[in-house]
Structure formats: structure tokens, C-alpha cells
Amino acid sequence: MLSLLIKEEIKNYFPEMIKLRRYMHMNPEVSFHEKNTAKFIENYLRELGIKDIKTNIGLNGVVARIKGKDSSKTLAFRADFDALPINDEKDVDYKSKIQNTMHACGHDGHTVSLLATCKVLMENIDKLPHDIVAIFQYGEEQAPGGAKPMIDAGCLENVDAIFGAHLWTPLPLGTLGYGYSELCAAADRFEIKITSNKNSNLIAADFISQTQQIVSRFAKPRETLVITLGKLESTKNNASITGTIRHFNKELHKMVISKLKKLCLSLEKEYENATIEFIYYGGYPPLINHKNAVKEIITAASAILPEIKLKEIEPLMIGEDFAYYLENIPGAFFLIGAGNNTFAKYPHHHPKFDFEEKVMTHTASIFLNLALNADKVIKNLKEEQ
């Protein structure tokens, strides 16, 4: 009965969801500059009649609490809403109006999915067992991100568990991608600055060669460790190398940073009159799901969307700051298929990126089923702790 209710209401709201998503798509704002987007979200939530809305959380974050029958337990959902500094090259009537700014990763779809979730919950408040917190997060696309400042500002206070989703065009519409543990790698940035009166190119080449030996010598056979050196700029006297470290193991990460610093000191001693500076910019931690939370996602999705295809996926070598939430409380993050073979075939961060808008109904439906069964969901997650 509950599943039929959710399906019918989401079906009825789909035209409105398309309208909201396309408004956001035409009016994107890049990370840490999302003031208008945050106000748009706040205004919509107030129109729904939600009383407990907090704004400017961290910087531009918006947090809404919907009161259920029993406030002793709380389930949270998160959607990010920042865009990217990419020029929209699609030939559609909802193309971005802002030069060199575009929702090229689907965050407009994430936001609207959670807004629709809030709308259905407000119209069925008598069926809501516990409180629901909707976290609308700024700044995911650019480290240090918005998740940690929002957590530091208290967005997870009195929250028992959290769920998040990313629409994903590499998966076809009607597919749910999940991982029981590691889902997204940590992605740390670093830079090496070399100054030498004559050997900067040689030192840079030596650093690159020895960096790859760190991976082969210190990572265990089944451990993921990728050091990518993406950019090299050099003159006779100066060189700079930028790179990323991707991993799922914090202890391994500490070891790699230590080895890179020692390598720089060693090369300084080896090459006369050379100075080598190691600059660590950091990044997001690995995203590690809680197994029981993933099981709850699969249960909720299968019940509300019996036609959905379930696909256990290999961990992704991308960063996602939802990881910070999962370092604090139980929960899980999942991928929801949004691709096709025509307009939604382009990868994320591509200037022609687009997605199957029906994916928003899938995301909202799963969120709603979790919310309306919050008592069981939270109980099962606590058993894992």
C-alpha cells in the first residue's frame, strides 16, 4: 500500500520535478558561490510548510528538519547543489544561461530528487515514523568541499543515519549501483616545486621514476594505490610536478605521504644546490559504506521499483565528500543509473553532459521508502555498530 502511494505521488510530481531541474540547470553556480541556488532551495522548502529550516550552514548549506511522530530517532538524506566551471555545449532549451558555468555532474538532479522527497513527506506527515533531515550541501566539486564545514556547524546533530545518491550516466536508467564497503577512493592532491641552478629537468625525471617504485614496493597486492603525476612544467632552473594519490587505506596514505617527503629530501642531498618543496593540498577521505545500510537501500529499491536492476560495482577512483558523513554516523551512498545511448551518453564533467530525468523519480522513491520505514532502517543500522 505504501509503495503504491509513493509511486503515484512521485508520478504526479514528475512534471514539476522536470521544471525545477531545468530551472536549476539554466541557473548554475559554481562551488562556494551558490547563494542564489541556496535561496531557491530555501524558498521551495518554506512553500512546503517546513518550519525548521536552517540556512548558511558552513557557508551556503541548507538543512531542513521534518518532524515525524517520534523525534527520538532521525534519518538524514543529502543532496549537493554546486555546478562546475564548464561551458554548456548542449543544444537544448534548458541550456545554462551562465557562460562557463554548468551542471555537468547531475547535482541539479540530486537537489530536485530531495526536494520532491520533502514534498511527498510533508503531504504524508501522518505516516512518517521519525524525523527526517534534508541536507542540501554546497561545494562538493571542489576540495575542501562543503560536507565537513556543514558537519562542523552541526548538521548531523541528533541524526542516527544518513543516505546519499549520485545519478550516474555510465549506468543505464533503471539500474542501481552499490558497494557493500569501499565505493569511492580518497583523492589527495600534491605539488612538488624544484629549484636548481642546472638540473631541474633531471631531478624531475628522477622523482617521477622513484614515485612509481613507492607503489610497487609498499602497496600490498590487493590494496589499491594509484599515484598519478598529471602535470609537469619545467625550465632549466625550475620545475613543478602536480599529482594525485588515490587509495582506500588511511594508514597506507600516511605512509605514502611520508615516503614522498623523504624522497624529496633524498633528492635534495643527491643533487647539489637543489631545493625541493613538497606541498600537500589534501582531499576527501575514502567513502566506506556501512553494509547494513546498503542492504536497506537494496530492500527499499526492490520494494518500490521491482523492475530495477541491481549491480554490485567495483570501487570508483573518484573523490566524494559524502565520505565525511559516513565517518561520523552509519549510512551509505549509492549510484542510480541515468544514462542512455543518445543524449545521456556523455561522461560526467563533459560539456554535453545530460541525464535521463526519470532518474529523479527513482532516487526520490528510494529515499521515500527509507524515510517511511525509518524505524526499521535505523534499528538495523544500529545492530551493525
In tens, the pLDDT along 354-364 reads 999 999 999 99
Q: pLDDT digit string (tens) for 274-316?
A: 999 999 998 999 999 999 999 999 999 999 999 999 999 999 9
Crossing angle of helices 250-270 and 200-218, rounded to 10°: 150
* Cis peptide, bond prior to residue 347, ω within 30 of zero: no
Give residue 6's pLDDT.
86
Residue 130 marked in a binding site: no
Q: pLDDT digit string (tens) for 253-275?
A: 899 999 999 999 999 999 988 99
Clarify whether 82 is annotated catalytic: yes
Give residue 91's pLDDT.
97
Q: Which DSSP letter does residue 370 get?
A: H
Q: What is the mean pLDDT of residues 55-76?
A: 98
Residue 166 marked in a binding site: yes
Position 1 confidence tier, pLDDT thresholds 50, 70, 90: low
Check whether 381 has a pLDDT greater than 70.
yes
Mean pLDDT of the chain: 95
SS3 content of the chain, % helix, strand, coil (to 5): 40, 30, 35
Are 216 and 228 a contacting pair, CB within 8 Å? Answer: no
Give residue 85's pLDDT.
98
Position 197 confidence tier, pLDDT thresholds 50, 70, 90: confident
Which of the two residues, 191 and 187, has the higher pLDDT score? 191
Are 289 and 179 a contacting pair, CB within 8 Å? Answer: yes
Residue 107 marked in a binding site: yes
Residue 141 marked in a binding site: yes
Give residue 4's pLDDT.
78
Check whether 385 has a pLDDT greater than 70.
no
Give residue 219's pLDDT.
73
CA distances from 199 to 20, 177, 295 (A): 57, 49, 56
Give residue 224's pLDDT.
85
Residue 184 marked in a binding site: no
Check whether 212 has a pLDDT greater than 90.
no
Check whether 2 has a pLDDT greater than 80.
no
Give residue 252's pLDDT.
87
DSSP lists the bridge partners of residue 78 as: 135, 164
Q: What is the mean pLDDT of residues 6-20?
A: 95
Give residue 223's pLDDT.
78
**Set of cell numbers at residue 248:** 582506500
Check whether 122 has a pLDDT greater than 70.
yes
Candidates 34, 80, 82, 296; catalytic one:
82
Give residue 333's pLDDT.
99
Give residue 383's pLDDT.
76
Position 215 confidence tier, pLDDT thresholds 50, 70, 90: confident
Q: What is the mean pLDDT of residues 59-87?
A: 98
Q: Which phi and psi angles does 25 have, rounded to 5°?
A: -65, -35
